[in-house]
Amino acid sequence: MSESIASAMPAFRDFKNHVVLIGAGTIGLAFAALHLQFLSNPNQLTIHDIRPDLQEYVCENLPRYLNPLQHDLVSEIRLSTSASTLRNALSKATIVQEQGPENTAFKKSIWVRIEQHVSPTALLWSSTSGIVASIQSEDMKDKCRLLVLHPFNPPHIMPLLELVPSPCTNQKYIDQTLEFWRHRGREPVVIRKETIGFVANRLAFALLREAVHLVNEGVVSAREVDNIVTTSMGPRWAIAGPFKSYHAGGGSGGLAWWFKNIGSTVQQCWDDMGRVNFGDGDWEERISNEAAVAYGQIDTEERDRKTKAVLRAVVDSEP
């Protein structure tokens, strides 16, 4: 079990669910690792992917997402590479979670196939980063079953899960999904409209745009932006989000005081913000080169170890 989960909640064993993951990319493997924390038996998990080397691939790559004590579970996961093995897995599934190619035609057709074979009570989730449920479900008989479950990478570590129903998704599936993930120490948040990019990425990309602008203007380098963020709003926002932080900044007057007293400064910054775009000049190349020189190849194991330490620190420092 990952340490962050272990410190966040009591362990429990899920004897009930049968999970079928469709697509074994990095997001698929990370979700496999996450589901394995809770399933009573690894044979309650099926990973389906049409790659012919699925077995070697999973055996080689999935252990990187797991605690060493769990490595021997990998061989007991069910693997599926054909239509018939998928059909068989779907017939017993209580949860089907898709993270295949980001391709509308693929997603529309896979849900039609899934729907033919899966129990009418199974939960159907797509971990797309952008193709909304109302489009993916267009050709389904029951369009109200599907919802998007968008993680923040890597999902076996980061608590956030954005639940993005289509306008017609049945509330009971939303509620069951919320309960499922809350019970597993995750932070599922329902996004109430099918917005481009959902919410977390939009917020991060808003900051990124201003960061690119300030680098373009010669105010700071890309590496200095990173240093600024990790030593100020990063650690602050690990504890309290922007509204809560500014509400605290307003003292006894709260956010109302802060808006009233700092608002004109904020507005000046908003008015001065850059509207840089992809394809404007050569910034993509310049900033990529700067990052390559500054960071080389990033060690994501180190990143993940530190991220777990930060998440644990937030929980452990509760009074």
**Residues from 142 through 181 that contact its own copies (CB under 8 A):** 152-153, 158-160, 162
- Specify the 3-state DSSP secondary structure of 69: helix
Nearer to its own copies, 76 or 284 (CB): 284
Q: Are 3 and 24 in contact (CB under 8 A)?
A: no
Nearer to its own copies, 15 or 272 (CB): 272
The one among 41, 193, 281, 282 contacting its own copies by CB under 8 A: 193
CB of 16 to its own copies, least distance (A): 26
Binding mask 9-48 for its own copies (x = CB under 8 A): ----------------------------------------
CB of 258 to its own copies, least distance (A): 8
User: Tokens standing for 206?
Assistant: 């808003």
> Which residues within the stretch 258-317 sit at the binding site for its own copies (CB under 8 A)?
259-260, 263-270, 272-273, 277-278, 284-285, 287-292, 294-295, 297-298, 300, 302-303, 305-314, 316-317
* Nearest alpha-carbon partner for 188 in 152, 160, 148: 160
Give CA–CA dist 184/271, Å, rounded: 43
Give CA–CA dist 123/106, Å, rounded: 19
The residues that bridge with 46 in the sheet, in sequence order, are: 20, 78
The one among 175, 242, 281, 282 contacting its own copies by CB under 8 A: 242
The one among 114, 123, 133, 211 contacting its own copies by CB under 8 A: 211
Nearer to its own copies, 51 or 305 (CB): 305
Q: Is 288 exposed, middle or buried (0-12, 13-18, 19+ CB in 10 A)?
A: exposed
Give CA–CA dist 48/67, Å, rounded: 23
